[in-house]
C-alpha cells in the first residue's frame, strides 16, 4: 500500500521552529494555531491535553493539532528533555486541514517500527541547525518532512500480505488533486473564488492546477465553477421567488448583469425569461 493520504504536490509544510528543550518547570495551559509535536527524549511526566491526563515517557510523541490546549505537570525534581517541532500547511486525506490525527484519537504515539529512524532524523535536524551550512533552511524542512512521513507510516500505513503492485503516482496524484479542487468549488461556489484562491488553497501554482484539471475533466477550473453556479441558480429559480439580483448574489455574483449574460450563454435564454415561464406555468 502506498497511500499515506498525502501527495508530492500537496505536501508542503511550513516549518516554524525545531528546538530541543529541557522542561524542568510547568508551562501554562495554552494552545497554538499550528501543529506541534513533542518528542520525549528522556524523562517522564504527565501532560494535560484538552482536560485529559496522559503519562508520557522516553520515546513517546505528543501530537497537538491546532487549538488543542496542553500543559505539562511535573512532580518535585521531575523533568523531561523534549524535541519540539512546530509547523502548518499540511493536508492529509480524510482529516481536517492542518491535522495529523483525528480529534478523537489519543494524542500520544509510541513509535515501534520507525523509532530508530525518527530518532536519527531528529539528531540530523539538531546537527544541521548547529552547522548552519548554506541551504540549511531547506535541509531542515526536508528533515521535518521526513519526520512527518515516518509518523504517518507508523500510524496510517498497514502492511498488506499481498504482492506489491506499485503506484501510478502521476495518475493518482492528479486525480486526487482534481477531486480536491472540485470539492473546494462545490463547497465555496457562493463566495468569491478565483483561480489564484483555488491555487492558494491547494498550495500549488495556478498554471499547474489549470493544466491537470483540463487534462482530467476536459474543462478549466473556472468553467467548472461557472457551470456549478449556474446549475445552483437554476435550482433556486425552480424553488423560490427570489429576484435575479438576489439569486445572482446567492451563487457568488455581485453583478446581476454579468450573471444574466453567463446564464443566457449557458442555457440559451436569460434568467428573466425562465422566471416568466415559471410564473406562466399552470
d(CA 38, CA 21): 10
The structure's pTM equals 0.56
Residue 3 has pLDDT above 70, yes or no: no
Task: Say which residue the cell 523534549 belongs to.
Answer: 82
Residue 169 has pLDDT above 80, yes or no: no
Residue 207 has pLDDT above 60, yes or no: yes
Domain spans of the chain, in order of start: 14-155, 171-280
Confidence band (pLDDT; 50, 70, 90) for 253?
very high
pLDDT > 70 fraction of the chain, expressed in percent and rounded: 87
Compute the mean pLDDT over every residue in the chain, rounded to the nearest whole number.
85
Asked if the domains 14-155 and 171-280 are classified in one and the same CATH topology, the answer is no
Q: What is the pLDDT of residue 172?
A: 46
Q: What is the pLDDT of residue 6?
A: 75
CATH number (2.60.120.280, 1.10.8.870, 2.40.50.100, 1.10.8.60) of 14-155 reads 2.60.120.280
Residue 247 has pLDDT above 50, yes or no: yes
Over range 186-209, report the average pLDDT.
82
Q: What is the pLDDT of residue 1?
A: 40
Confidence band (pLDDT; 50, 70, 90) for 39?
very high
Residue 164 has pLDDT above 60, yes or no: no
Residue 170 has pLDDT above 70, yes or no: no
pLDDT per residue as tens digits for the range 150-159: 999 888 754 4
Check whether domain 171-280 has CATH 3.40.50.300, yes or no: no
Q: What is the pLDDT of residue 79?
A: 92
Amino acid at each position: 500500500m502506498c497511500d499515506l493520504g498525502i501527495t508530492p504536490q500537496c505536501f508542503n509544510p511550513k516549518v516554524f521552529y525545531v528546538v530541543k528543550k529541557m522542561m524542568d518547570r510547568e508551562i501554562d495551559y495554552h494552545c497554538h494555531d499550528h501543529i506541534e509535536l513533542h518528542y520525549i527524549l528522556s524523562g517522564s511526566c504527565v501532560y494535560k491535553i484538552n482536560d485529559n491526563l496522559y503519562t508520557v515517557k522516553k520515546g513517546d510523541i505528543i501530537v497537538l493539532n491546532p487549538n488543542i490546549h496542553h500543559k505539562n505537570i511535573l512532580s518535585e525534581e521531575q523533568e523531561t528533555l523534549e524535541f519540539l517541532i512546530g509547523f502548518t500547511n499540511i493536508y492529509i486525506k480524510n482529516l481536517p486541514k492542518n491535522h495529523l490525527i483525528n480529534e478523537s484519537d489519543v494524542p500520544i504515539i509510541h513509535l515501534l517500527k520507525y523509532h530508530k529512524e525518527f530518532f536519527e532524523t531528529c539528531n540530523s535536524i539538531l546537527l544541521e541547525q548547529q552547522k548552519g551550512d548554506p541551504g540549511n533552511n531547506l535541509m531542515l524542512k526536508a528533515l521535518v518532512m521526513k519526520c512527518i512521513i515516518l509518523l504517518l507510516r507508523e500510524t496510517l500505513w498497514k502492511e498488506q500480505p499481498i504482492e506489491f503492485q506499485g503506484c501510478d503516482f502521476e495518475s493518482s496524484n492528479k486525480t486526487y488533486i482534481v477531486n480536491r479542487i472540485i470539492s473546494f468549488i462545490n463547497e465555496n461556489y457562493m463566495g468569491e473564488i478565483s483561480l489564484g484562491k483555488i491555487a492558494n488553497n491547494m498550495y500549488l501554482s495556478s498554471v499547474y492546477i489549470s493544466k491537470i484539471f483540463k487534462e482530467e475533466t476536459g474543462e478549466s477550473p473556472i468553467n467548472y465553477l461557472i457551470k456549478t453556479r449556474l446549475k445552483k441558480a437554476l435550482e433556486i429559480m425552480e424553488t423560490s421567488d427570489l429576484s435575479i439580483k438576489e439569486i445572482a448574489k446567492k451563487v457568488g455574483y455581485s453583478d446581476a448583469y454579468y450573471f444574466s449574460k453567463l446564464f443566457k450563454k449557458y442555457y440559451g435564454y436569460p434568467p428573466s425569461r425562465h422566471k416568466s415561464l415559471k410564473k406562466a406555468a399552470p
